[in-house]
Structure 1
């Protein structure tokens, strides 16, 4: 219901329908055609995504009465005033994500990898993606004669950046020996790069069947897994760092919330600019940012172009251990692209879904080939950028801006001028928005499934935080017979990042297991609860068997993938226990299904209808209580 109301309110804006001609910029000779074609577009905005999108969307509504005579590359104005607003929003969001991810990895990777490989790779892939969606908009405008199109925005997959950092790169680093092994940083980076390649390949393979993915998995489960990253890693983990500098961080966060959620804006200024400027001023005033940091960052300034690097692919075999992270991230990106494309269609820009999904995957593959372990995706917010009046220029500006920043070493300089605590409020807001989107789309009947899906992400975050604290304590040294042992000579009795450390208490081991492969665990738990609530017991039984199968191979509840007969046999391995637990659930759902067939239980209920009934019942109950209260006052 919330989604429907959101779509209705978005559709009311329809900025393109009220501005058929280009506003400024390099107008082309077909600008007058958009008024005629706008009516054709409106008739097809309600096409259902569940049908084959390419046959429905690329229909007669997209066929112009006369083919535009202008060149395809001149079918839209290249730069209009609204592009500047769109550029500021997309550029600042991507920059905040990139710098936050880079700073997280600087604790385990050297600067030559972070700023010499990863960051330049981001610049190349982002430039490619922006160009991809710019060309898509130009070609569609050329075919239809419309000049009111807004290109889809493109950038880093923020939840995926943090999921790969913590679930793959850091996990490989500690599995390879951490600080005790000088090769661990390079191996961790290389495995992350290859995992990113696999993610992009999966997204490209999903392109032909993209419209049908959401019919196989409940939307609440997919959004819940994404929200688990948003709430645990983007919000809670960022708040942990922000709370160390409250005088610098609190005011910018509430300012950006007031601007983007409350509509408090200064005319002529982008909404994200003032919070960043305020945070920077506070950082330099309080000493969080210093001139010495700026001088150190200046040493990294130089020409660092992104170049293809095939060295990481020697570790292709290690990626299998982390498919529990890679596959869910790829699935959530695919679903996100479907949703963003649908939202764009609601305001009149019905782009080809398969080409959009293919572009996301190809952009991620390019990122991996140029050394970046972070996936790329189409950005949410197209309707807002179109309302600003943006067309294609903001994508062109983002491509040029990121190529310059990422290839010149200026990223480190920007981080010195605007410390991560200054940019983190944007990350906090993104984390909140991911959860808000999930709440708006999820029917009230399925809120329990959404909340349950959040738990595995918090388990993973709690384990990483506890292990990091234990490792820091261990690195401080200890006293052995009166003599202090510190630095490289320190060897913990138990590695804080190993399974043995979590076997010290059964409840700790359970916490660790619930956080392993948490994106897939989130999907399974959210799905099972949704189907249990809706009384679709047969489907729940099938999902329980799939979860048991994944547990037996270590795809979930285990740090690595293995063959069941070659799995770890220690007391710390719980894969058989989890497989047995899901098998018991399958038996339970089988009995419930049989009881349903025998008439002991009601048949399965449609989620949307159930939510409407619950909301109507709640509304009637509130009205009854109100009438009772009023009658009591009268008496």
Structure 2
């Protein structure tokens, strides 16, 4: 019989020691992203500091504080429902891929054409609003995709985002100033991937930030005059409705749909994979509730003047492994909102070296990449890698485009033949990377079902891939009829081949004991067998799904008796993210 814990969900504390670790880690993560989008608004689109600090950041602050408080409430509700004390809130902040896309794909071309920063801003706001509406619609579709897509495909495409868009740019920034960043990374890895604690239980995230900041200032990487100049820009900015700005942007809505539709689909698919990642870590959230909140956050932010749609972040298992529960999310939302309202981000950029901040993003990339392999059967490893590939292609072509733009040219001007002569298959990588997260999900699912010899399901997913490519949701530059007929035909041929093998009635591969254990642990089906729940949006995790080890020894983990488990009730996983 399992003993009850000292703390129960009935008296769940708002803050535990692990929340401090998670707060400094996740808070720094969001801080970096808001600093980045602030610099993009001021330096790329040339918006005035009054518009950025007086309207955009306060609007973003409202969306973030509302969303993070909502996810705190959601976590506490889940903890009470399952009588657990180890539930971790979902992390929530401005969507990183969309942050760059809205600046460089939507706002910058309009600014360059019109030299009117306000017109570019209103287009960005309208685009973010459309994204939010699509995510709201996706809230009623996403649960069914999650129900039938195999775990290797969902986690593999998420790992692709983590390794590329979340980790690679920070890694480059780290090695540019490695003398600051590498000691910070080492401290984070020791504190978050092992059970080693600092003297006095100093939060590892805070210690790492202070160490990097001290090295940066002592080494001359920072400047006192820069701090003094930035301090003069501090001013109070409160959010207000910007409906005129929004409606002016929506009046020219048609050109925005070409990117808003596939990226809206990307947003709710990413939300879906992040919820799957959280479920794999032991916290099974209601997907529909999450997507509705994501969509509402984008709509509310746009109505207040923010062109940056927020989203649930990659990284829940990392903050869970760091000991975060429900308090870290709310604290992050409140602190970031206050900084947005006070216009403090210009000042913070001059105090903390970037190299001291970005290692936390590399840590998240490491953890999510590892989770994709740890939480799926070894036999499905090839499917995980297949799901990674479209995101790698999308990241690579983005880097190429940025390099060519910096040189004052483009891939179209250079020409595919010249690029191919240099060993760069730009045109193929561009096609492969369009709609990367959805493409990775489809490709990973097809590989899983081929490995499992479930050829009917492989044929169905390949046929879906063909339809998506035909209308441009994957492998197409825009939404249109026959967006990429060659790719659609290729997927269709895959569906035909798998269909022929299905007619041969080949027995499916029998799952190994390891796979049954993974399914039991993570509350899902590695081969996506249909669940028995009539409503995939509200299916709770099975009672046997184990919780992550608490990074806070003062907070015992609620365990459920499992007659199939031979491990002692107190045994816990020690690796982050599992």
TM exceeding 0.5 = yes
2: CA distance, partners of 1:188 / 1:224? 35
Query: Does 2:240 align with 1:300?
Result: no
| 1:317 corresponds to 2:317 | no
Give the equivalent residue in structure 1 for 2:29: 93
- 2:278 aligns to what? 340
Aligned CA distance change for structure 1 residues 516 and 115 (closer, same or farther; 3 Å): farther
Contact 2:453 2:509 in 1 (8 A): yes
- 2:62 aligned with 1:124, yes or no? yes
Alignment partner for residue 285 of structure 1, among 215, 218, 223? 218
1:586 aligns with 2:495: yes
CA distance in 1, matches of 2:99, 2:486: 28
In the alignment, is the contact (CA less than 8 A) between 1:325 and 1:520 conserved in 2? no
Aligned residues: 504
Provide closer, same or farther for how the CA distance between residues 352 and 238 of structure 1 changes in structure 2, counting only shifts above 3 A: closer
Task: Kindly indicate whether residue 307 of structure 2 is the aligned counterpart of residue 403 of structure 1.
Answer: no
CA separation in 2, counterparts of 1:325 and 1:534?
31
Q: Aligned-residue CA RMSD in angstroms?
A: 3.8
- For the 8 Å contact 2:226–2:350, the answer to whether it is kept is yes
Match status 1:109 vs 2:36? no
Cα deviation per residue 1:285-312 (whole Å; 9 max; x = unaligned)? 3333223432443343212222232324
Between the aligned partners of 2:298 and 2:72, the Cα distance in structure 1 is 17
C-alpha separation in 2, matches of 1:114 and 1:129 = 21
Q: 2:463: which partner in 1?
A: 545
Q: 1:167 and 1:384, CA in 2 relative to 1: closer, same or farther beyond 3 A?
A: closer
1:314-393 alignment, distance < 5 Å: 314-322=251-259, 323-337=261-275, 339-340=277-278, 343=281, 354-370=288-304, 371-377=306-312, 381=316, 392=327
Higher relative contact order (CA closer than 8 Å, sequence separation 6+): 2
Q: Give the corresponding residue for 1:461.
A: 395
Match status 1:577 vs 2:486:
yes
| Contact preservation (8 Å) 1:553, 1:562 | yes
Matched residue SS, 2:92: strand
User: Cα distance 1:320–1:512, how it changes in 2: closer, same or farther (>3 A)?
Assistant: same
Confirm or deny: 8 A CA contact 2:167 2:361 kept in the other structure: yes
Q: Quick check: 1:195–1:373 contact (8 Å CA) kept in 2? A: no
Give the 3 Å change call, closer, same or farther, for CA 557–173 of structure 1 in structure 2: farther
Q: Secondary structure at the match of 1:301?
A: coil
SS in 2 for 1:376: strand
Q: Hey, what's the Cα distance between the residues in 2 that align with 1:147 and 1:513?
A: 46
Separation in 1, partners of 2:164, 2:498: 31
Q: Is the 8 A contact 2:463 2:491 kept in 1?
A: yes
Q: Secondary structure at the match of 1:465?
A: helix
Relative to 1, partners in 2 of residues 1:319 and 1:278: Cα closer, same or farther, differing over 3 Å? same
CA contact (8 A) 1:551 1:579 kept: yes
The 8 Å contact of residues 63 and 301 in structure 2, kept in 1 or not, is answered as: yes
Match of 2:539 in 1: none
Distance in 1 between the 2:225 and 2:316 partners? Answer: 38
Question: Which residue number in structure 2 is paired with residue 213 of structure 1?
Answer: 145
Secondary structure class of the residue paired with 1:549: helix
- Aligned residues of 2:127 and 2:307 also touching (Cα < 8 A): no
Question: Paired residue for 2:410, among 481, 485, 496?
Answer: 496
Q: Is the 8 Å Cα contact of residues 111 and 120 (structure 2) preserved in structure 1?
A: no
Segment drifting more, 351-360 vs 271-280: 351-360
Aligned to 1:43: none
Find the counterpart in structure 2 of residue 236 from structure 1. 168
In 1, the alpha carbon distance for the partners of 2:141 and 2:474 equals: 25
| Matched position secondary structure for 1:156 | strand
1:451 equivalenced with 2:385 (yes/no):
yes
Aligned-partner Cα distance in 1 for 2:464–2:124: 27
The verdict on how the C-alpha distance between 1:300 and 1:111 changes in structure 2, with shifts beyond 3 A counting, is: farther
The equivalent of 1:424 in structure 2 is 358
Aligned to 2:372: 438
Q: Which residue of structure 2 lines up, in the alignment, with residue 226 of structure 1? A: 158
Quickly say closer, same or farther: Cα 1:268–1:539, change in 2 above 3 A. Answer: same
CA 1:358–1:499 in structure 2 vs 1: closer, same or farther (change >3 Å)?
A: farther
SS at match of 1:272: helix
Displacement of 1:386: 10
TM superposition shift of 1:336: 2.2
CA distance in structure 2 between the partners assigned to 1:369 and 1:93 by the alignment: 25
Counterpart for residue 19 of structure 1? 7
Tell me which of 343, 349, 368 is aligned to 1:415. Answer: 349
Identify the match of residue 262 of structure 1 among 194, 203, 227. Answer: 194
1:436 shift after superposition: 2.0
Partners of 1:117 and 1:372 within 8 A in 2 = no
Which whole-Å CA distance do the structure 1 matches of 2:515 and 2:286 have between them?
32
User: Highest Rg: 1 or 2?
Assistant: 1
| TM-score, length-scaled by structure 1 | 0.69
Higher helix share: 1
Partner of 1:303, secondary structure, is: coil
Q: CA deviation at 1:442?
A: 2.0
For normalisation by structure 2, the TM-score amounts to 0.75
Unaligned runs of 5+ in 1: 1-11, 22-33, 35-74, 475-494, 568-574, 615-635
2:123, 2:344 → 1: CA distance?
Answer: 26
Deviation at 1:520, TM superposition (A): 2.0
Q: Kindly provide the CA deviation profile for residues 320-376 of structure 1, in whole angstroms up to 9, marking residues without a partner as x.
A: 21233321221221342355367565xxxx876654553343334323333141323
